[in-house]
Amino acid sequence: MRAMLLFLIIAVFVALASAQCPPGAHIVVARGSEEPQGPGVLGPVAERIKNLVPGSDVESLIYPALFEPYNPSQMAGVAAMTQLVGDFTHECPNTKVIILGYSQGAHVTMDTFCGASSTGFPETAPLPSSFSSKVAAIIVMGDPSLVEGQPFTVGSSDGSGVLARQNPDGCKAIVNKTISICDAGDPFCEAGSQNLTVHMSYATVWADYIVSRAGAMFQSAQG
């Protein structure tokens, strides 16, 4: 009797876990510095992707997103993103993940998947492929760790970020599933520039492109 009861309890937990796994995409959003907890300016973009890919849901990364002090906030974000992706892909191995990151959230995202190597940040290893293989798309905007010439960069900028990573080779495993958007004038992903309006405009200027590419990359990852 006890064995049967234990079996039923386990079966219920498995069923509940399965019920929480979306049949579409799990969309994770990492907001920018000083945005309140939630998806921030990328919220409407995430909702459009959710509507494009039936059965999807949206989760906002919980982390400080402080501009000052930046380093500990960003490192806390990397720890949170690592935990989130690891836990979700373990619990829902059949659900593909789409990750959107803006500004500090872009830096958090790229350090999670490429490993941290910017000056002033302790070096970390890239997220293991057993986790990153479950991710269909990584789309970031205004990434301070951007390195000029990376193959996944789009936009009008041809510079590097103010916190350019020292080991861009750490990103090799995610090249085919990553898009990093940086436009000329952005003071964070293009060091030396001063046009803050450019940095704040990605969620509107690039919205259609982001939604379209996220949907296409998800479909491609589905096989």
pLDDT in tens, 139-189: 999 999 999 999 999 999 999 999 999 999 999 999 999 999 999 999 999
d(CA 46, CA 137): 13
pLDDT of residue 14: 38
- Examine residue 148 and state whether it is found in any structural domain, yes or no: yes
CB 93 within 8 A of CB 63: no
Domain that holds residue 168: 23-222
- Examine residue 10 and state whether it is found in any structural domain, yes or no: no
Phi, psi of 9 (to 5 degrees): -65, -45
CB 179 within 8 A of CB 140: yes
Domain with residue 58: its CATH number is: 3.40.50.1820
pLDDT of residue 18: 41
pLDDT of residue 189: 98
d(CA 109, CA 140): 8
Q: Work out the pLDDT band at 10, boundaries 50, 70, 90.
A: very low
pLDDT in tens, 20-61: 899 999 999 999 999 999 999 999 999 999 999 999 999 999
- Examine residue 125 and state whether it is found in any structural domain, yes or no: yes
Short-list 126, 122, 120, CA closest to 138? 126
